[in-house]
Amino acid sequence: MKRLGLLIASLLVFGLVSYGFWVRPQPSATPIGIQSSVMRPDGAQIGYYSSGIGPRVLLLASLGRSVADFNQLAVALNEAGYRTIAVESRLVGISTQGDDDTQTDLFTLADDAVTAMIADGASGDDLAFAIGHAFGNRVARAVATRYPDNVGGLVLIAAGGAQKLQAGQRVVEALQNSFKWVLPPQKRLTEIKYAFFADENTVPPSWVNGWHASAANMQVAAVQRTSLADWEAAGGRAPMLVLQGTQDRIAPAKTTSDVLKASYPERVQVVSIGPAGHALLPEQPDQIAANIIEFLDAQTAGIEGGDG
């Protein structure tokens, strides 16, 4: 009986370990571009990926996600004549936290992004653009707030901020479950799809993998340490293109893009993208790239015309 008990226990342990290896998501895809890093005064290492030639465009990813989500868009931007600087958030990829993570706020993350851009060769007089996806839209607006003279325009993809997400809401539960790799794979896939994708769209493998819970927790804390009033206006100058998913359950238009348009009518242009949810980038890459390039080209032409 003792041997039988040990055998059963061994099989249970083996089963649990095997299940863990089976369901645990693989790391994020590798972002395109040349990998570099820069150190921050608080000891954090910030990784970034640069590619292309032309005006610089910062790429800032969604909650707990890698800038690899921008890979398709980065290629399109490079081909259109823009240089992309895709900056990994702290605790994603080779980026690390600083010595005291209790002080990290949105402006800390904004400074991380600008420091990477400067390390890439940008000068204090250069104008750049920033594209933020979901959580990254908050960082993009913090960049424009901190450096209003250096931001020529913002693209906000799934621009959350004003919506009230609370524990117990179905979409919040699905968002949280997206990070829980211990869930049965089909259950977790269902949760990712509900939180991030339109009903008719398929979740690609890159969105089954690449969820960084530690980074997400840090980012949520950074938002909580930063007053909404300090960053929501994005510096009060830069024009903003807001790309709104037609089926975005996390950031529906009535509490996000509609609010931005009503608050800053002269600066905000809203474009509906569909069918798409909160993920947007993998759902409608061609629509997104076309609208962003048109916007960036218009801003660049305006800047060049002003210089003339």
Q: What is the CATH number of domain 27-164+212-307?
A: 3.40.50.1820
DSSP state of 28: P
Please tell me the predicted confidence (pLDDT) of residue 3: 52
CA distance 54 to 77: 10
CA distance 5 to 95: 46
For residue 235, is it left (φ>0), alpha (ψ between -120 and 50) or beta? left
Please tell me the predicted confidence (pLDDT) of residue 26: 66
Please tell me the predicted confidence (pLDDT) of residue 5: 46
Quote the tokens at residue 243.
Answer: 């790309």
pTM, full prediction: 0.90
Please tell me the predicted confidence (pLDDT) of residue 82: 98
pLDDT per 10-residue tile (average), the chain, 308 residues: 46 39 64 98 98 98 98 99 98 96 96 97 90 98 97 96 75 97 97 98 97 97 97 97 98 96 97 98 99 98 63
CA distances (Å), 121 to each of 177, 179, 292, in order? 40, 36, 24
Please tell me the predicted confidence (pLDDT) of residue 308: 42
Please tell me the predicted confidence (pLDDT) of residue 20: 46
Please tell me the predicted confidence (pLDDT) of residue 306: 56
Q: Which of 236, 282, 296, 297 is nearest to 70 (CA)?
A: 282
Question: Where do the domains of the chain lie?
Answer: 27-164+212-307
- E-assigned strand segments in the chain: 34-39, 45-51, 56-60, 83-87, 128-133, 151-157, 240-245, 268-273
Please tell me the predicted confidence (pLDDT) of residue 14: 43
Please tell me the predicted confidence (pLDDT) of residue 163: 67
CA distance 294 to 292: 5
**Beta partners for residue 86, in sequence order:** 49, 59
Give the strands of the sheet with 34-39, arranged side by side. 34-39, 45-51, 83-87, 56-60, 128-133, 151-157, 240-245, 268-273
